[in-house]
Structure 1
Amino acid sequence: MLLFEGTSEEFVEYDQRDGLEELHVPRRRPDQVFGLARTPSLDLYARAEKLRGLRHSPFSNVELLYPFLICEAKSEGRGPGFESIETQTAFPIRTCLQLQDDLRQRSGVQLSPFVWFMAYQGDEWRVAGCLMHEGRYQIIDLWMGRTTSLDGALQLLLIIDSICEWARDVFRFEISSCLAGGKDNLRGISRRHGSPAVTYASRFSTQEPQYEGTTIISVHGDARPSSIPETDVDITDFAENASIASLTLEDSMMELDGITEDPSAACQDESVELYGDVVSHPLLKWVKISSTGVPWTAHATIRHSNMCLFAFSHLSLPEELDLLLACLRQASSWGVGSIRKIATSLVMSLTDHSFVRNTTMGSILQLRNDWLREDENTSVDSEYPLRALFVFRTYIRTSDWQIIRELLCISCTAQTAHNLAKIAGFSAESLRIRMQQSSNEHPLPISDFEALRGLTGSDAASAAISSKVLYHCLTPTREEAGGFSCSWESRLVSEDMKISFSMLAPSICFSLDRRTALMEVLKKPSPKNLRYHLGPDVAARKSAILLHKGNHWPRTTPSWCLMILDELELERSGELARRLSTQVSYHAFHFAPRSDEAGEPFSRTMDYSGDKEFLEFWAEDLRG
Structure 2
Amino acid sequence: MPLQTSLGKLTPQKQHALIQKYNISIEGPIRSHDWPRNYASLFGLVRDIEKIRYEEYYQADLENDNQRLLHVAQMRNRVSKLVSQAHRLRESLDNEETWRLETEHLVLERFTTEVDWWVRPMLLSLWGYNVLIIDYSHVCGQRRWLSDFQALPSCPSAAAELQCIRQGRRLCCCEEILRAKLLAEPFTQPAFVTKASCTIVDKSMPEIQRRILAHHKPDRVLGLGRTDEMKGLLATSPNITATVTKDGMNAYFPFLVLEAKSEKNTVGFESVERQTAFPIRTMVNIQKALETASAGPLDPLRIIDLWHGCILRHDSALQLFLIIDLICDWARDIFIDHVLRCLRQCASPRLSVAHPDLSPSSISDGEFSLSSERQRIPPTSSDTINGHQVSITPDPADVVMDEVPNAPGGDISMVGTSSLVLFSGADLNTSENAPGEELSESPDILRSWRQLVSIKSDKDVQLTFRRISLPETMHELHSVIRALAGDTDLIESAQMVLALLSPDNPFIITSDFVNRLQRAWGKPSPDPPAHDEPLLYASLTWRASFDYVDWVLTKELSCITATPTAMAKLTIIGRASSGYLFPEGGLQPTTLGKRLIHPLRYLPAAELIQAASRNQTLHLQIRLGCANPAGWIEDHEKSMHSRHLWDCLDSNPEAFSQCAQNVYSSVRGTPPDFQSSNAIDIPLPLQVPEIAKERPIALLKKPGGIVDSLGPPYSIFSFNREDAECPSVIGNAVRSFLRDGFGCFYGNNEPLSVDDRMTLAAVVEDWAKPNLSPASML
TM-score (norm. length: structure 2): 0.39
| TM-score, L = length of structure 1 | 0.47
Q: Which of the pair has the greater relative contact order for Cα pairs under 8 Å at 6+ separation? A: 2
- Bigger share in helix: 2
